[in-house]
Structure 1
Amino acid sequence: MTGTLRNRHGLLAGSLAVTAALALSACGSSDSSDAGSGGESGGGTHTVKTAMGDVAVPDAPKRVVVLDTAELDSALTLGVKPVGATHADVESGFLNYLPEEQLAGIKDVGAMMTPNLESIAALKPDLILTSKIRHGDKYAELKKIAPTVMTENTGYTWKENFQVHADALGKKAEAKMVTDDYASHTADITKALGGKEKTAATEVNMVRFVEGADIRIYGKQNYIATILADVGLGRPAITDKAKDGFSYDVSPEKIDLADADVVFHSTYGDPEKSKETQTTGSGLWKNMSAVKSGKVFNVDDQLWIQGIGYTAADKILNELLTDLK
């Protein structure tokens, strides 16, 4: 069954590429002063509601720049190749779960938190996508370059953000295809794992080792938590202690608090400096029930934590099936 699911949902990118050519442009107009002075895209404009107010954007933007990983995932998922994107703090620059052929030709416009405004302007974009939490302090400068659409936050609100991205890109029809496919995929995974009751009875934790920070036991208000919830997996009581629902942070001496039926873990940064090596080699870790039962899985941080989009989610769902089946 795993192969069937992978094949069916692997057709998503191809189907989107076809429908992208057929999709109707969004309609409407706006006299917003935030229209910017970006590249020429032709056609009319429509208004997008953003964290910074209403913004007039081209109906069919041709030169899009994205300034975070979620926006890059959204654009590529919807069949739009940006002309520019910031790079993540990883060796590969752009996140490694994204197909190389889709990334080819995208100009690197700097690090995610410190984008190079001159490089962005040189691309003559007609639309910039990002979030207020990342680049709200640069909004005044960015909107002078091109219409800039910002969501309020990133992570937990990824589904709502995707709809904003789709609206801005003129890809609402494609967005519905994506969300419908995701709903179908999650339902298939739940069924393959034994149904809703069995899935809910399986408690899952997500642990992230972070260089320069404490170990994070992820709560219920973050990107990966929403995917686990959509499949219907249970979460241990420790997740209710997460600060602002995001994470409950512990030292290696308290890693046993992360125990569950299943534990997924990823690493951001150097394994030694993030305390991954020290922690996973400790007696506390080895004595956890999940470790003893062989239900601990090391997953790719770029995919499970940093991607924050539907293309990433589709791949995560397939990995969940493989690991939990």
Structure 2
Amino acid sequence: MYGYLKLLLLGIVTIVLLLACHGNISQNVIQGNNNLSTSPLPVATKLVKHALGETRIPIKPKRIIVLNDIGLLDPVLSLGIKPIGTVSYFPEYDFLFRGVTNDEAAGIEIIGTGNQPNLERIIKLKPDLILMREYQKSLYKELSAIAPTVMVDLPGLNYSFKENLRFIAQILGEPEKAEQVITQYYERVQKLQNLMGERLKEIEVSVIYIFGEGLISTYSDNETYNQVFQDIGIRLIPVLANQKEETVVSSIEILNKYDADVLFVMNDTKQLTQAFFKILF
């Protein structure tokens, strides 16, 4: 009988101790006791399919790095999102990006060049999403080890700047914003068409790029400006409209081959432009 009471008392004491212990743990959790480790809240994610596979990314990424200017930085900024890091293709010039002004990119850290992004700088920025282009796919494994990485394959999107914008907007969860940007674009196209009127049918244009001193290059209709011309209804001269090669480099001596009603000249530096006009005049 005594042994039975002893076991009963021992059991009661054990239960009391367990309840007390449980109460302390519960109180610690409620009060946020620093002696107990707490797990961070899980981040909502989604699965994104791209040319290199599938990547799980945050639904609303906040620390985005983009590794291209025209194809990535420009559309991301147009969606009202400012990345924390990007690359420059012209760090030695007075402008850093193509299609984006230095002011528009103010506050974005430069993390190397498009062909050689600095992985150490990327790590320090602690991104939660990296966007890269198809020609950088050799870096995909290294970048994916740093943060979720998605490759935006512009050729796979038929070089369409509109589809590129839509794809990026889907990744970033801003599809409606992309449609707003495209609508605004078509409104501007319509406004120019109205201003030009019948003259659109009468003129032909030519576009050349100052490739180097004494050299020029021309591009196929994959280029964004050619897509814009097509939307407006502006005609390229036949030699450019029929160009099959993606890039053709020529001597400036055959510039007359690209004569047109309007000649658009693209350049990278003021020095090249000055040299170009000295040769002409």
Task: State whether TM-score is above 0.5.
Answer: yes
- Closer, same or farther in 2 for the Cα pair 1:210/1:41, shift >3 Å? farther
- Counterpart for residue 119 of structure 1: 121
Cα distance, 1:120 vs structure 2: 0.6
Structure of larger gyration radius: 2
TM-score in terms of structure 1 length = 0.66
Q: State whether residues 41 and 126 of structure 1, in contact with CA within 8 Å, keep that contact through their aligned partners in structure 2.
A: no
Q: Distance in 2 between matches of 1:63 and 1:159?
A: 24
Q: Distance in 2 between matches of 1:161 and 1:131?
A: 11
Query: SS of 1:182's equivalent?
Result: helix
- Counterpart for residue 14 of structure 1: none
Matching residue within 183, 188, 203 for 1:180: 183
Cα distance, 1:272 vs structure 2: 4.8
- Counterpart for residue 6 of structure 2: none
How does 1:97-136 map onto structure 2 within 5 Å? Answer: 98=100, 102-133=104-135, 135-136=136-137
How does 1:272-287 map onto structure 2 within 5 Å? Answer: 272=272, 276-277=276-277, 279-281=279-281
Q: State whether residues 204 and 263 of structure 1, in contact with CA within 8 Å, keep that contact through their aligned partners in structure 2.
A: yes
Please list the CA deviations of residues 68-87 of structure 1 after superposition, one character each: whole Å capped at 9, or x if unmatched: 10211111111111111112
Please say if 1:260 is aligned against 2:266.
Answer: no
Please list the CA deviations of residues 94-150 of structure 1 after superposition, one character each: whole Å capped at 9, or x if unmatched: 3386465542321111112110011011111011112112x1110111111111111
Q: State whether residues 239 and 247 of structure 1, in contact with CA within 8 Å, keep that contact through their aligned partners in structure 2.
A: no
Matching residue within 156, 169, 172 for 2:172: 169
Q: Distance in 2 between matches of 1:79 and 1:141?
A: 28
Partner letter of residue 58 of structure 1?
A: P
Cα distance, 1:157 vs structure 2: 3.0
Query: SS of 2:107's equivalent?
Result: coil
- Counterpart for residue 251 of structure 1: 251
Q: Distance in 1 between matches of 2:79 and 2:228?
A: 19
How does 1:152-301 map onto structure 2 within 5 Å? Answer: 152-153=153-154, 156-195=159-198, 198-211=199-212, 214-244=215-245, 246-269=246-269, 271-272=271-272, 276-277=276-277, 279-281=279-281
Q: How many pairs are equivalent?
A: 238
Q: Distance in 2 between matches of 1:236 and 1:139?
A: 40
C-alpha RMSD over aligned residues = 2.7
Please list the CA deviations of residues 208-256 of structure 1 after superposition, one character each: whole Å capped at 9, or x if unmatched: 1112784113332211111111111011111144243x34432122110
Q: Which has the higher contact order (CA 8 A, sep 6+)?
A: 1
Q: State whether residues 199 and 232 of structure 1, in contact with CA within 8 Å, keep that contact through their aligned partners in structure 2.
A: yes
Query: SS of 2:131's equivalent?
Result: strand
Give the stretch that moved more between structures: 95-104 or 246-255.
95-104
Please list the CA deviations of residues 18-56 of structure 1 after superposition, one character each: whole Å capped at 9, or x if unmatched: xxxxxxxxxxxxxxxxxxxxxx99642222232212222
- Gaps (5+ residues) in structure 1? 1-39, 282-325
TM-score in terms of structure 2 length = 0.76
- Closer, same or farther in 2 for the Cα pair 1:41/1:88, shift >3 Å? farther
Cα distance, 1:162 vs structure 2: 1.4
Query: SS of 1:168's equivalent?
Result: helix
Q: Distance in 2 between matches of 1:215 and 1:96?
A: 18
Partner letter of residue 139 of structure 1?
A: Y
- Gaps (5+ residues) in structure 2? 1-39
- Closer, same or farther in 2 for the Cα pair 1:240/1:97, shift >3 Å? closer
Cα distance, 1:191 vs structure 2: 1.3
Percent identity of equivalent pairs:
29
- Counterpart for residue 322 of structure 1: none
